[in-house]
Structure 1
C-alpha cells in the first residue's frame, strides 16, 4: 500500500524560471541596443517583474516533488526544510480542520495520540519553519474560540520544556509539542498540513488516509 501526492505548489516552477530568465536576457539586449524604447522607470519595472518571476520560479522548483506520502510506516509530509513521519498507530483520524462558526480551514488536521512517536523523529529545522508558517492558524483559532482574548497569552507563550510521561523534550521540540497541545484544544487536532499542496480534494485525501490507517491496523492485529 502506497500513495504519493504530488505537491501542487511545485508545478510550473522550472518553466517559469526558464522563461523569466530568457526574457530577462532579451530585455538586457534590447536595453543595450534600443534604450529609448521606454523610460528608465519602465526599464526598472520590467527588470523587477522579471526578477520576481525568476525568484518565484526558483522557489517553486525547490519544493519537494511529492508533498505527502502514505506508506507502510505511516503518513509522511515532505517540506523544503525536511519531512515528518506520523506512524499509523500514532493517530486516530485525519479530517479537514474547522474554525468555530467560520467553517473549514485550508488545512487537514491529524488527531495525534502518541506524541513521542512523532516528536522523536521531527527535524528541528522543520519544526522551526512549521511553527512560523502555521502561527496564523493558531491566531485564527484563538480569534474564533477565544474572541475576548482571555486565553491568548497562555497559548501564544512558548514551552521551554514538555513532558509526555514517557519522555521529556526541550527547545524546539518542546515548543512544537506545546503548539500541538494548544491546537488540539482549539481545533481538535494536533498536526496540520496545508490543503494547497494536495492534488485532490481535502475530504477525499482524508478518506484515503483513514481507510489506509484501518487497513494497516487490521493487518498488524492479525
Structure 2
C-alpha cells in the first residue's frame, strides 16, 4: 500500500505575510498516542490499547526509516555542501561578528551572527544549556540554526521590537522567507545594518532604499 503523506505550511509568504503553500512533511504523524489516551479513558478495552500501541510503534519505525532514507539519499550532497561552506568561510573576510539570538516559531536560540562582504551566516551555540533543553522535535522544524544567506538574496530589512526593546531585525529574502535576529543592544543593531546591503524596507512602500529607512 502507498505510504501515507503528511503536509505542513511552507515558510513562503505573500505580500500580506500569509503562508499559502503546503510542502511535504517527512516528520508528520497521525499522533496515535492521542487516540490511545482517549481510548483508555472512555473505553478501556485491551484490544483497543494493544492496537494503539502497535500503531505507535509502526509510526515511529516508519518515521525513522523515512528520515534515514532522506539522509542517505542526500548524504553526498550534504558533505560536498559542508566542504564548500568551510572553504568559503575561510576565504571570506568577516566584517562583523556579534552574539545574536535567532527568533523562530516556538524557539529563541543563542548563537553568533557573522557578516562578510557578500553574505551573512548564523551558527547556533549547541553547548548553550537552554539549547539542550529544547525538544529535538521542535528543532527539526526550525530553519536557520546553521543558516547562510547571500546579500544578493536580501530584499528588505525591518527593525523590530523584541521583549519591548528595539534590538531586533527581520530580514526578508527573494524567496519570500524572513529570518529574525535579536541583538544585545541598539548600537549593535546599527552596526549590523551598516554591514548589510542598502535595501531599506524594500520597494513596495515607495520609500528610498537606504539604511536610514531600516533604522
Larger fraction in helix: 1
Higher relative contact order (CA 8 A, sep 6+): 1
Which structure has greater strand proportion?
Answer: 2
TM-score, normalised by the number of residues in structure 2: 0.29
Question: Given the two structures, how large is their TM-score scaled by the length of structure 1?
Answer: 0.29
